[in-house]
């Protein structure tokens, strides 16, 4: 039978933090946002996932990208007694407010090499507000 050993717990709060840090993804995935004349591109770094793992929704002008994952692992000895049984839950949720100049019906997404790419095209005749100085009278 295996023996579990753990170092002395001199700083319980710090040890718990680093245990969580090493076993869970505490930070939201990194995101790159790009704007061009043709539209906007969102790149989300999410390695180790499958394209089916993502839920992308658009409601009004709010684009939401989310992922939920449940993990379970177990090891048994030859007598079918548990040696290790672990389970976990990991998720992220990112939202972006889209400007009025995008073509909602033409948004598309691809997933390749750990990067989720979402392309959001702009409407023709982009009528964004231009910078303007307003004088006070």
pLDDT tens track for 58-89: 998 899 999 988 888 888 777 877 677 788 87
Q: Does the pLDDT value for residue 20 go beyond 60? A: no
> Hey, what are 71's tokens?
């993990």
Q: How large is the average pLDDT for residues 11-22?
A: 44
Longest dimension (CA), the chain: 87
Residue 99 or 9, more confident: 99
Question: Phi-psi region for residue 39, left (φ > 0), alpha (ψ -120 to 50) or beta?
Answer: left
- Please report where in the chains the tokens 């658009």 appear, as a residue: 58
The Cβ of residue 116 has, within 10 Å, a number of other Cβ atoms equal to: 22
Q: What are the structural domain ranges in the chain?
A: 30-121
Of 37 and 128, which is predicted with more confidence? Answer: 37
β-strand partners of 29: none
The answer to whether residue 11 scores a pLDDT higher than 50 is: no
Mean of pLDDT values over 20-39:
74
> Which residues neighbour 1 within 8 Å (Cβ) at sequence distance 6 or greater?
77, 83
Task: Estimate to the nearest angstrom the gap between the alpha carbon of 46 and the chain centroid.
Answer: 6
Mean pLDDT, the chain, integer: 77
pTM for the model = 0.64
**Per CATH, the architecture of 30-121 is what?**
Sandwich (2.60)
- Cα–Cα distance measured from residue 132 to residue 20, given in angstroms and rounded to the nearest whole number: 49
Structure tokens at 38: 């043709």
């Amino acid at each position: 039978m295996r023996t579990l050993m753990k170092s002395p717990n001199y700083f319980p709060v710090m040890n718990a933090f680093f245990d969580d840090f090493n076993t869970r993804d505490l930070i939201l995935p990194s995101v790159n946002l790009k704007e061009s004349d043709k539209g906007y591109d969102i790149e989300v770094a999410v390695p180790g996932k499958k394209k089916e793992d993502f839920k992308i929704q658009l409601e009004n002008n709010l684009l939401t990208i989310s992922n939920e994952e449940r993990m379970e692992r177990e090891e048994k000895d030859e007598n079918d007694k548990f040696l290790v049984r672990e389970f976990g839950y990991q998720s992220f949720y990112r939202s972006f407010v889209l400007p009025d100049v995008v073509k909602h019906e033409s948004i598309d997404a691809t997933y390749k090499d750990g990067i989720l790419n979402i392309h959001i095209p702009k409407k023709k005749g982009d009528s964004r507000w231009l910078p303007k100085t307003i004088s006070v009278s």
